[in-house]
């Protein structure tokens, strides 16, 4: 009798060992994940809910071994909320380690030099995994929420690539870009040339935005800066087309008309003296540097050559000849 009982107990012990061994083996085997997959674990989601969802998705064939592992190792199955990237052939042990580490997937959003605040808002609204909080907010509401000292948001945010985790708010991304612009602008301001026509870093930022919109060629930016500064010194109007476009706003149709040139807006530098009241775009680092370290030049005019570059002139006669050549085709 005792032999039978001992044999049964031994068999049960062996069975338990086998089951536990299989469970440990299963959680270390690759899951049925074929491609890199973003997966969101919501707050309060349990490990059992995770297994049920994995079974529906086909990541696992059975929940038994995974549940048994959880019973034996409860600290290994505590979940943290977030959005994670599961890699192909990742095991459950590796997956749980990733989740418990809290290393959420880093999304990226890139804002390009010369883009406007309106374009930034549209990009933020159309980018996935960003929490939308700016709908219905006025520009003044936004600048107040980032603790800016000016009343208009244009030009305040540094164009670059920013990383964020899922459900980061749009205003938090703007705060990152605002702080980055403050750092970059102050750094350039501290290393500026003497005798520049700016009373503050903000005025340099305005100039940088004009430079950014006039040329995409970095090597030309210090020369463009010199032209604008030379014109200011001679009390000449800047007469830069991008300010017309910015002043028209949604009324701009794609072509600048004679009526547009004659229309007096707060930004039209054909009709106002000096610089516009605010930046007209988000300038990048090279444009900021150019505004504060212009080239040594006597140029007063420039015209597009049609290839992305410009012809620069010191006299109106030379400029008119260049306009005839490059614009009018004479």
pLDDT for 62 equals: 85
Closest by CA position to 230, among listed 265, 195, 178: 195
Which residues make Cβ contacts (< 8 Å) with residue 152, sequence separation at least 6? 139, 143, 277, 278
- Domain range list for the chain: 17-101, 107-182, 189-299
pLDDT for 127 equals: 96
CATH number 3.30.1490 is the correct assignment for the domain at 17-101: yes
Which residues make Cβ contacts (< 8 Å) with residue 251, sequence separation at least 6? none
Q: In this structure, are strands 161-164 and 107-110 parallel, antiparallel, or unpaired? A: antiparallel
pLDDT for 12 equals: 53
pLDDT for 65 equals: 83
Q: Where are the beta strands (DSSP E) in 167-218?
A: 168-169
Question: Taking the model in full, what pTM does it have?
Answer: 0.87
Q: In this structure, are strands 82-86 and 130-131 parallel, antiparallel, or unpaired? A: unpaired
Tens digit of pLDDT at every position of the chain (330 positions): 666 566 554 545 544 444 444 556 788 899 999 999 999 999 999 999 999 999 999 999 888 888 888 888 888 889 999 999 999 989 999 999 999 999 999 999 999 999 999 999 999 999 999 999 999 999 999 999 999 999 999 999 999 999 999 999 999 999 999 999 999 999 999 999 999 999 999 999 999 999 999 998 999 999 999 999 999 999 999 999 999 999 999 999 889 999 999 999 999 999 999 999 999 999 999 999 999 999 999 999 999 998 889 999 999 999 999 999 988 765
Q: How many residues does the chain have?
A: 330
How many angstroms separate the CA atoms of 203 and 210, rounded?
A: 11
pLDDT for 16 equals: 47
Element (H, E) at 4: helix 2-27
Q: Give backbone dihedrals phi and psi of 163, rounded to 5 degrees, phi first.
A: -95, 150
pLDDT for 1 equals: 64
pLDDT for 71 equals: 86
């Amino acid at each position: 009798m005792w032999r039978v009982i001992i044999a049964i107990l031994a068999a049960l012990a062996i069975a338990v060992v086998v089951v536990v061994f299989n469970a440990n083996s299963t959680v270390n085997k690759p899951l049925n994940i074929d491609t890199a997959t973003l997966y969101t674990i919501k707050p309060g989601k349990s490990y059992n809910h995770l297994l049920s969802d994995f079974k529906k998705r086909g990541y696992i064939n059975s929940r038994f071994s995974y549940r048994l592992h959880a019973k034996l190792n409860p600290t290994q199955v505590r979940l943290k909320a977030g959005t994670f990237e599961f890699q192909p052939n990742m095991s459950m042990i590796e997956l749980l380690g990733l989740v418990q580490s809290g290393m959420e997937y880093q999304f990226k959003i890139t804002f390009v030099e010369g883009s406007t605040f309106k374009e930034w808002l549209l990009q933020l609204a159309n980018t996935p995994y960003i929490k939308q909080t700016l709908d219905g907010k006025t520009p003044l509401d936004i600048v107040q929420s980032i603790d800016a000292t000016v009343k208009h948001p244009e030009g305040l945010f540094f164009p670059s690539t920013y990383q964020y985790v899922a459900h980061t708010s749009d205003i938090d991304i703007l705060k990152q870009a605002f702080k980055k612009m403050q750092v970059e602008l102050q750094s350039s301001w501290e290393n500026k040339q003497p005798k520049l026509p700016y009373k503050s870093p903000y005025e340099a930022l305005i100039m940088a935005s004009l430079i950014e919109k006039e040329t995409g060629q970095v090597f030309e930016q210090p020369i463009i800066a010199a032209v604008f500064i030379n014109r200011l010194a001679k009390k000449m109007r800047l007469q830069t087309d991008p300010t017309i476009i910015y002043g028209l706003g949604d009324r701009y149709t794609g072509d600048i008309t004679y009526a547009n040139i004659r229309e007096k807006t707060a930004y039209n530098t054909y009709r106002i003296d000096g610089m516009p009241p605010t930046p007209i775009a988000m300038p990048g680092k090279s444009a900021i540097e150019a505004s504060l370290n212009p080239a040594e030049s006597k140029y007063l005019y420039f015209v597009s050559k049609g290839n992305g570059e410009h012809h620069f002139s010191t006299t109106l006669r030379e400029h008119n000849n260049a306009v005839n050549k490059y614009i009018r085709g004479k």
